[in-house]
């Protein structure tokens, strides 16, 4: 199939590359000329495991190319995927100006029938507005179908998720585009759900909100565990083995962050308000998530007392493992709070330090995780990178002025850490 992807961020670049990997001809479009030049030169603007190799392979084999011209993308394709940002507005609703702008650009370039697929996470009824916009601005007055195809990609596992999806959701207003979209996804051998476009748009917000709820639920349980001497990991394992619940997203920690869960949760609350429903359950999910960081900072202050002029090491800056994304990262939030209390920070992240430099100033960036603890009054684990499990704990204990470790991701065993001589503070244990 001939496919164009408008927007070459996390979703767009992964989508286009994985389409090319199964044999489709793909044109990736982005208005950021610097990003396109980087991709053409063999670079990649994000860290995502396995993605760089696939981009290089499919570019070399002629199935994947990059351009700044939306017109070129539209003319070269039968199916156009929109994967542009939908950032949050101050009131929690979604900024759809990028979607509207792309819809107008597509419309002006169309000279024949096209299938336009909304891959971006958007409020329900956005597809209807995209269709109206294309119809209004298409001077050629040709037909098109607008389809909703929400993405379910986890940063850090996006290539794996795309190549082996749990399901593919296709939301349509007519049967005409269904066969073509099914052919696009046929190589992935995944269950395909064909539904009305409004339901498809709601599925993404409903799914992410439910996952956020699971995280806030286990974080609330962690408070009960700390108060009673229970172990939240054992509780999570016990309830997670129930097939009705499942173990994933039941890891207590500093709370959820990133560019999806906070935004999608706020958007779904706002969407519900606009139709007259006060989604108080999701508001409580937000509150629990915010309180989780407050409690962790309080735990640090209670242990160290005055943070002013204390030197603290922080391991992890990305919002989660296997990504360099620091957008709404709990780790960055934690660093800012510690700085506000007067602490001096030594920080490390396996992949995110370059991007962190733009949002986290006046800290010492350390290239080797085993050197972060040097001369520090305490060490904090803020992101669940698997590399941190290989930390030289004996070296860290000796390097710290006091052997205090705050584990915001429960990477280590409580008993073993105490046996090594650490004052060890974790979540819900």
Closest CA to 190 of 167, 159, 163, 160: 167
Closest CA to 13 of 66, 60, 62: 66
Contact call for residues 32 and 40 (beta carbons, < 8 A):
no
Closest CA to 344 of 298, 382, 307: 307
In 278-363, which ranges are E strands? 311-315, 344-348
CA atoms lying within 13 Å on the CB side of residue 109? 20
| Rounded Cα distance, 427 and 200, in Å | 36
Report, as residue numbers or ranges, the catalytic residues.
260
Q: Which residues contact 298 (CB under 8 A, 6 or more apart)?
A: none
In 56-204, which ranges are E strands? 64-67, 79-82, 114-118, 144-148, 168-172, 192-196
Other Cβ atoms less than 10 A from the Cβ of 59: the count is 19
Q: Which residues contact 368 (CB under 8 A, 6 or more apart)?
A: 348
Contact call for residues 40 and 66 (beta carbons, < 8 A):
yes
| Rounded Cα distance, 106 and 86, in Å | 18
Task: Point out which residues pair with 26 in neighbouring strands.
Answer: 3, 64
Angle between helical axes of 261-274 and 197-228 (0-180°, round to 10): 120
And the tokens for 43?
A: 């670079």
Contact call for residues 324 and 358 (beta carbons, < 8 A):
no
Closest CA to 156 of 364, 349, 426, 381: 349
Other Cβ atoms less than 10 A from the Cβ of 281: the count is 10
| Rounded Cα distance, 313 and 371, in Å | 9
């Amino acid at each position: 199939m001939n496919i164009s992807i408008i927007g070459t961020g996390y979703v767009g670049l992964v989508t286009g590359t994985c389409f090319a990997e199964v044999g489709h001809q793909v044109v990736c479009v982005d208005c950021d000329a610097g990003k396109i030049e980087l991709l053409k030169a063999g670079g990649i603007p994000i860290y995502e495991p396995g993605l760089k190799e696939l981009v290089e392979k499919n570019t070399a084999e002629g199935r994947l190319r990059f351009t700044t011209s939306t017109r070129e993308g539209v003319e070269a394709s039968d199916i156009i995927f929109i994967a542009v940002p939908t950032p949050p507005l101050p009131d929690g609703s979604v900024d759809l100006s990028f979607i509207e702008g792309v819809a107008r650009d597509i419309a002006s370039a169309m000279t024949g029938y096209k299938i336009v697929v909304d891959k971006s996470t958007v409020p329900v009824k956005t597809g209807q507005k995209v269709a109206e916009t294309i119809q209004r601005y298409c001077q050629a007055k040709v037909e098109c179908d607008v389809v909703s195809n929400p993405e379910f990609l986890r940063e850090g596992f996006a290539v794996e998720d795309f190549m082996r999806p749990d399901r593919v959701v296709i939301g349509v207003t007519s049967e005409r585009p269904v066969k073509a979209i099914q052919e696009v996804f046929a190589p992935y051998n995944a269950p395909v759900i064909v539904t009305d476009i409004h339901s498809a748009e709601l599925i993404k917000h409903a799914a992410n909100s439910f996952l956020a709820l699971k995280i806030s639920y286990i974080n609330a349980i962690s408070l009960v565990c700390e108060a009673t001497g229970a172990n939240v990991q054992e509780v999570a394992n016990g309830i997670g083995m129930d097939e009705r619940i499942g173990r994933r997203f039941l890891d207590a920690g500093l709370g959820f962050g990133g560019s999806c869960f906070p935004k999608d949760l706020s958007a779904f609350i706002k969407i519900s308000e606009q139709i007259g429903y006060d989604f108080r359950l999701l508001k409580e999910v937000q509150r629990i998530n915010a309180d989780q960081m407050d409690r962790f900072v309080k735990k640090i202050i209670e242990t160290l007392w005055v943070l002013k002029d204390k030197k603290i090491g922080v391991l992890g800056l990305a919002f989660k493992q296997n990504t360099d994304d620091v957008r709404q990262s709990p780790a960055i939030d934690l660093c800012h709070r510690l700085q506000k209390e007067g602490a001096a920070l030594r920080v490390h992240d396996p992949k995110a330090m370059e991007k962190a430099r733009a949002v986290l100033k006046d800290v010492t960036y350390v290239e080797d995780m085993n050197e972060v603890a040097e001369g520090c009054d305490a060490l904090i684990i803020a992101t669940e990178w698997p590399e941190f499990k290989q930390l030289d704990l004996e070296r860290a204990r000796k390097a710290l002025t006091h052997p205090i470790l705050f584990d915001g991701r429960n990477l280590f065993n409580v008993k073993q850490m105490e046996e090594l001589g650490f004052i060890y503070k974790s979540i819900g244990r």
